[in-house]
Amino acid sequence: MGRGIVECFEEAALGLGVIAPEQEMINEEFLPFVPEHRLDDVLYFNPTDDGAPISSNTRHLDEGEDLDLWADENMTIVSRLLGKYATPRTNEILTRK
């Protein structure tokens, strides 16, 4: 990873996301290469930190949003999370109005 992070941050005007299962990757291979002027743009989410959970309301739909697109996006996320454990019933539950 290393120096490529600097270039990614310089080109990523809106942001850059990194998902890593190992804390060492973030601490040793990512954070040391974040440019100083972009440190305030870093959001570090630690899923094992019970004291500072981040939640997401996947059932929220803003006015004017396309319901079918919203349902499809959420189903894709859940299917990827559940993998082989996603069932036709999962789709029925998530798309219920």
- For residue 29, is it within any domain? yes
Contacts of 30 (CB under 8 A, 6+ apart): 1, 5, 18, 20
Backbone angles phi, psi at 22, to 5 degrees: -110, 125
35 and 59, same domain (yes or no): no
47 is a domain residue: no
pLDDT of residue 13: 64
27-50: average pLDDT? 80
Judge if 11 and 36 occupy the same domain: yes
Domain ranges, residue 17: 4-41
Which has more confidence, 25 or 3? 25
Res 16: pLDDT:
66
* 36 assigned to some structural domain: yes
Domain total for the chain?
Answer: 2
Residue 49 in any domain: the answer is no
- One domain for residues 97 and 65: yes
Note the pLDDT tens digit of each residue in 63-90: 998 888 887 887 787 788 777 777 777 7
Task: Say yes or no: 60 and 92 in one domain.
Answer: yes
34, 2 contact by CB (below 8 A): no
H runs (alpha helix) in the chain: 4-11, 23-24, 67-82, 88-94
Which amino acid is located at 59 in the chain? Answer: R
